[in-house]
Amino acid sequence: MTNTSLETIQIETAPNPAVSVIWLHGLGADGNDFVPIVRELDLSGCPAIRFVFPHAPTMPVTINNGYVMRAWYDILGTDIANREDEAGLRNSQILVEQLIAQEKSRGIPADRIILAGFSQGCAMTLQTGLRHSEKLAGLLCLSGYLPIHATIAAERNSANHETPIFLAHGRSDPIIPIDRAEKSRDMLLALGYNVEWHDYLMPHSVCEEELDDISAWLKRVLA
């Protein structure tokens, strides 16, 4: 899996993009899931952006009775904090690193690349972004959590210690309870990261108020 480049959907907001946003979908979805987000964001005043929406690999997912679907890593059970597919997370981390390298090869410097993700994609954004060896522009983390948290203090790269992190969650999320996200937030804050926290009256989804906050954050990060 780690030697296979991912298929992507790409949207450019204007010619000659100066910024890339690599947006990772959640379990069972694909790159199409967040394509509509581009036209719903207020990007006025932002430079030209290339949005990259990759399709995760397909694999059997244990919690779904081994059903094969798109997933960044296996979900072994409901106790996601203590039973994690570490090998799967690290394999997909390599794939996300390849996406970053691809954008760099197209002329976008690392510090103008944003990693974004929802649910499993949020976990992969934190898994990859905090360990990446060059400073990224930002980490946009929606309705997810910090995976393999026991090793992050030792494995994190100082290059992204000052990178802004947008962390958002639904207060009525039945898939990933908000306390899991709050614990991730608190751990990141304790490690000294620049976390902007938002919570909303919504389930495991995205809401209009959140899109407004994402737009404002993107404008600040890309200013």
Only one residue has tokens 């979805």, namely 29
Question: Which residue of the set 92, 119, 143, 184 is catalytic?
Answer: 119
173 catalytic, yes or no? yes
Cα distances (angstroms) measured from residue 178 to each of 27, 67, 181: 18, 26, 5
105 catalytic, yes or no? no
Question: Which residue of the set 33, 74, 85, 173 is catalytic?
Answer: 173
Only one residue has tokens 């967040």, namely 34
Only one residue has tokens 């094969």, namely 68
Nearest to 179 by CA among 88, 80, 90: 80
Question: Which residue of the set 25, 132, 169, 204 is catalytic?
Answer: 204
Nearest to 161 by CA among 184, 182, 185, 188: 188
204 catalytic, yes or no? yes
Give the helix, strand, coil percentages of the chain, each rounded to 5: 35, 20, 40
Q: Which residues are part of the catalytic machinery?
A: 119, 173, 204
